[in-house]
Structure formats: structure tokens, C-alpha cells
Amino acid sequence: MTLLRFAILLQVIIAAGIFNVWVLRRGRPTNYRPDGASNISEEFACYGFSDAFRRTIGTTKLVLAALLLLGTAYAPLAVGAASGMAILMFGAVAAHVKVRDPMIKSVPALLMLLMSTAVVVVRAG
């Protein structure tokens, strides 16, 4: 598999992960939410974030995920979307650290950050 194909695969994985968390599982508990949070609304409340901020982040992540899929055919779009996603995932890791979550709860956001960064590096080159 070439690096380009690998980066495109990462774009699809990132987008699928975002759609899974923000659409399919938004109202369900997971092992990666902070203690006391059984859905995304409660998770953001644990971090001290408002509902408006949650909606903004969710909408932004879903738009970036869609752009990552469109970016499979157009590298500049992929680079921009992956850059934005990396920034948001850095913030997600920081939010987990802020509430002193066990490190394991940061793993999905950290993996998304690393995959997004890899997409930027490969597709920008």
C-alpha cells in the first residue's frame, strides 16, 4: 500500500469515527467518557463546556469529517480538513487532562490526532 492510499484510508477511518461518536453513539455511554457522563451532553458538562460550545464542536467535527471524505479526491481539501481535525483533537485530549481522566480515556482522541497529523503530512507533501 502506498503512503497516499494509506492517508486516504486514514481519512475514511477518521470520518467514520467522527460520524460514529457524534451521530450513532452521541446518546450512549462509552468507556471513554469522563466518570459521570453517559452521553455527549453530559461529557461536555463534565469538562465545564456549554451546550452551545458542544453544538459548535459537534457541527465543526461533522463538517470536517465530510470534507475529509471529499478530500479523498482533492488533496488540498484533505489537508485543510485534517488540520482542523487535529486542532480539535488536541483540544479533546486537553479536556480529558483537565478533568484528570485516566489516560485510557484520551486514547481515541489521541489516535484521531495522530491520524489527522499523518494525513496532513502525507497529503501536503
Instruction: Give the DSSP letter string of the chain.
Output: --HHHHHHHHHHHHHHHHHIIIIISTTS--TTSPTT-SSHHHHHHHTT--HHHHHHHHHHHHHHHHHHHHTTS-HHHHHHHHHHHHHHHHHHHHHHHHTT--GGGGHHHHHHHHHHHHHHHHHH-
11: confidence class by pLDDT, cuts 50, 70, 90: very high
What pLDDT sits at residue 56? 98
**Does residue 67 have a pLDDT over 90?**
yes
pLDDT band with cut points at 50, 70 and 90 for residue 50 = very high
Instruction: Read off the pTM.
Output: 0.93
**At residue 58, does pLDDT exceed 90?**
yes
Residues 13-42 have a mean pLDDT of 93
